[in-house]
Structure 1
Amino acid sequence: MAHVRDIMQKSVITIEHDKTVYDAAIILKEKEISFLVIIKDEKPVGVVSERAIVQKVAAEDLKTSSVKIEEIMSKKFRWVSPDTPIEDAVQKMLNNNIRRLIILDDEKLAGVITQTNLAEFLRSKLLINGMLDNIDSEKS
């Protein structure tokens, strides 16, 4: 059985909690990513997504350089450990209607998994199973 550690992205882009939404937007643009993990005292304390910036800042016509990231971040982020079975992580994402899960190891940020990681894993698993089925049918 595969575990989260097998598919997680270990390199996670973060931002300090006291930075502004403008700072976050610059990082999102430069790195071509859609969310950041918010860090305080070297521990994750929240997440912020492009969607949150649009809904909580842009749609309210607020100035991004005047809004602290901790004012709009989601503090109720979901997480799992690296040795969580992938099936359990998928279930947690579905149950909570979320697109990504933070991976914590002893309260420290270890990685992240996204819907894209899960889709790639499933695709490779389906391709392998399809190849095995073809080999079995050729033997018959």
Structure 2
Amino acid sequence: MTTAKDIMHTGATWIPAHETLDRAAQLMREHHVGALPISASGEEDRMIGILTDRDIVVGCVAEGRDPSKVTAGDLAQGTPRWIEADADVEAVLREMQNHRIRRLPVVEDKKLIGMISEADLARHLSDDQIADWAEQVYARTSTG
């Protein structure tokens, strides 16, 4: 059985909620990632959200806000999602499809150990699995 741990990439890095978005962008560049889990200030192992490069652009820069003054915590929204390291790939796909998310933190013993992204899915799954996943995650709901 292929697990979340088998397909994730390691080295996921936290951004504390009190850190500014310019620092988040620097960390993304340094680690070659497009998303960082946001930790509650002073509690590195408690996730309060995920910050993406798109969040920084759309939620800060495009609104004319200063990324050196807006914090990661300011943009944390919704309920964070994650998956246990020993979960099978079908559970990973369900979690991502059900919540229409493109990145999923992987935890083991309540500690962040990696992240699953679209690129990880593409490297490890069949074309049919990828097509089904993409249809669910990117499907638009009709507003008749």
Shorter-chain TM-score: which interval? 0.7 to 0.9
Aligned 1:72-87 pairs, distance under 5 A? 72-87=75-90
Question: Which one has the bigger helix percentage?
Answer: 1
Quote the sequence identity (%): 30
Whether 1:117 and 2:120 are equivalent positions in the alignment is: yes
Q: Which amino acid aligns with 1:121?
A: H
**2:70 & 2:21 partners in 1: Cα distance?**
6
CA contact (8 A) 1:48 1:74 kept: no
TM-score, normalised on structure 1?
0.80
State the AA in 1 paired with 2:112. Answer: L
Displacement of 1:13 after TM fit?
2.1
C-alpha distance in 1 between matches for 2:28 and 2:113: 20
Q: Paired residue for 2:104, among 95, 101, 106?
A: 101
Structure 1 Cα separation of the partners of residues 28 and 70 of structure 2: 16
Could you tell me which runs of 5 or more consecutive residues in structure 1 were left unpaired when the two chains were aligned.
127-140
Counterpart of 2:24 in structure 1 is: 24
What amino acid sits opposite 1:105 in the alignment?
E
Residue 29 of structure 1: CA displacement? 2.6
Q: 1:63 aligned to 2:38?
A: no
Q: CA deviation at 1:21?
A: 0.8
Q: Gaps spanning 5+ residues in structure 2: where?
A: 130-144
Q: Give the whole-Å Cα distance in 2 for the aligned partners of 1:103 and 1:75.
A: 18
Partners of 1:77 and 1:102 within 8 A in 2: no
Q: In 1, Cα distance between the equivalents of 2:6 and 2:30? A: 27
CA RMSD in angstroms, aligned pairs only = 1.9
